[in-house]
Structure 1
Amino acid sequence: MNTHQRFGLAAVFVVFSGIVSLLTAPELPAEIVSNWNAAGEPSGTMPKTLALWLFPGLTAVLLVVFALIPQIDPLQENINAFRPYYDWFVVIFTGYMLLLHAGIVAFNLGYEFDFTYLVLIAAAGLLYYSGILLTHAERNWFVGIRTPWTLSSEEVWNRTHALGGRLFKLTTILTLVGLLFGEYALYFLIVPTLLTTGITVAYSYYLYERIERRGSSSPDTGVRHY
């Protein structure tokens, strides 16, 4: 399967999301539940038209952005080096958005389930693949852990992304463990994700500074004349 086919599959998910909205619109109330609290209880609504087209429209826009990124990145050749992993991330992301959209529609059609659990399971899949993507990502301006220090050093980029990949996979496990903790389940997604972000940024800075100090302390092997 090539890039065009993978993006075609992602586009199918977007179209299917729109079809779900079209087919279910007559059966849905004028106001649709669109927000849930940590305990999985409905906490907010929005007008039906907006709710039905928010996810399909947003996903379509993001799909276009994903398609443009490899074309406009100054390090395009680096993205091409891990392009299959990037493309599959786009497919999984559009599938994630479709699942959330379908879940909102199903809930408002009267199917009772804990929406928080749906979010956690879907997010766990997306996070796990994000970990895979990070371990294969080459240095670029749009995809990955982009800090001034990772963008300045190939070694810092590679080592930070190796750590980030492991942490995202660990976050996936913790997210699934959270399913056992009821109203606290959402925190098993939010807290590890924030920690992963903070740790990887701090690690990239620490690693860059250590490499810089190592370089500056290297012995001078040049011949000196007096």
Structure 2
Amino acid sequence: MKWHRNLLVSAVFVVLAVIAGVWLYPRLPAEVPTHWDLHNHVNGVTPRFWAAAFPALGVLIVAVLSVVLPAVSPRQFAIRRFEGVWGVLMLVMQGFMLVAGLGILLPGAGYAVSMPSIVMLAAGVLYLLLGNYMGKLRRNFFIGIRTPWTLASDAVWERTHRFGGRLFMLGGLAVVLIAMVDPAPWLLLIVLAVVWLIAAGYSYYIHLQLEGSR
């Protein structure tokens, strides 16, 4: 039943993305700005059709992966052990793809919205939600803090993700505040890099603690 519900929500996201793409298509230029440098200067464009299709394609790809990846996961890393959390986080990722995609299209269509603000707010909320559910993840190859030490030990994975959940929520909150004050892409990259480096370092620290105790 949960999988059916998740697929239904995914279908709603795809339909919304298609409607938005069709609605914005006539307003988009032939070449739509879709890539920016760290100083928020456009350095890449995409043909109008593919730009308009991007939100729907992004949502659809994540939706397909949410079904395919559990099917191909090795047995000892089975996603069914936390399939409820997996389903929720895959929907969160689809929501992020939808919002980020629209955040790119709307300025190209002439609407007075800030692309960096929208994308950074979406990224911040994404990290807040990931952090909230991170402690419920179990060892797998596809989502979470995947280092050699977390993948080798259930104990290291669990302790790292309990700590990582709080860390990701703190990082997400920082990104949201930055987006509201000064939505500079380089600040987003710095925050996310620091979060991942601290989480990876912590996993190694816990590994050393447990190996030392043996």
TM-score of the two chains, using structure 1 as the length reference: 0.84
| CA distance, structure 2, for counterparts of residue 172 and residue 12 of structure 1 | 26
Corresponding residue number in structure 2 for 1:111? 111
The letter for the 1-side match of 2:52 is: L
Corresponding residue number in structure 1 for 2:174? 174
Deviation for aligned residue 1:210: 2.1
The letter for the 2-side match of 1:191 is: I
Deviation for aligned residue 1:111: 1.0
Deviation for aligned residue 1:93: 1.3
Query: Is 2:131 the partner of 1:131?
Result: yes
The letter for the 2-side match of 1:79 is: I
Deviation for aligned residue 1:40: 4.8
Please tell me whether Structure 1 or Structure 2 has the larger radius of gyration of its CA atoms.
1
| CA distance, structure 1, for counterparts of residue 31 and residue 141 of structure 2 | 41
Corresponding residue number in structure 2 for 1:97? 97
Unaligned 5+ segments in structure 1 are 216-226
Corresponding residue number in structure 2 for 1:207? 206
Deviation for aligned residue 1:186: 2.9
Corresponding residue number in structure 1 for 2:73? 73
Contact 1:14 / 1:60 at 8 angstroms: preserved in 2? yes
| CA distance, structure 2, for counterparts of residue 95 and residue 18 of structure 1 | 14
Contact 2:24 / 2:106 at 8 angstroms: preserved in 1? no
Q: Where does 1:22-101 land on structure 2 (aligned, <5 Å)?
A: 22-38=22-38, 40=40, 42-75=42-75, 79-101=79-101
Deviation for aligned residue 1:42: 4.4
Number of residue pairs matched by the alignment? 214
Over the aligned positions, Cα root-mean-square deviation in angstroms equals 2.2
Cα gap change, 1:179 to 1:100, in 2 (>3 Å): closer
The letter for the 2-side match of 1:207 is: I
Question: What do the CA deviations read for 1:178-225 (whole angstroms, capped 9, x no partner)?
Answer: 135426x3344221211111112122122112211211xxxxxxxxxx
Cα gap change, 1:28 to 1:186, in 2 (>3 Å): closer
Question: What do the CA deviations read for 1:91-134 (whole angstroms, capped 9, x no partner)?
Answer: 12111111122223322221112211111111111111111221
Cα gap change, 1:8 to 1:76, in 2 (>3 Å): farther
TM-score of the two chains, using structure 2 as the length reference: 0.88
Unaligned 5+ segments in structure 2 are none
Instruction: Give SS of 1:136's match.
Output: coil
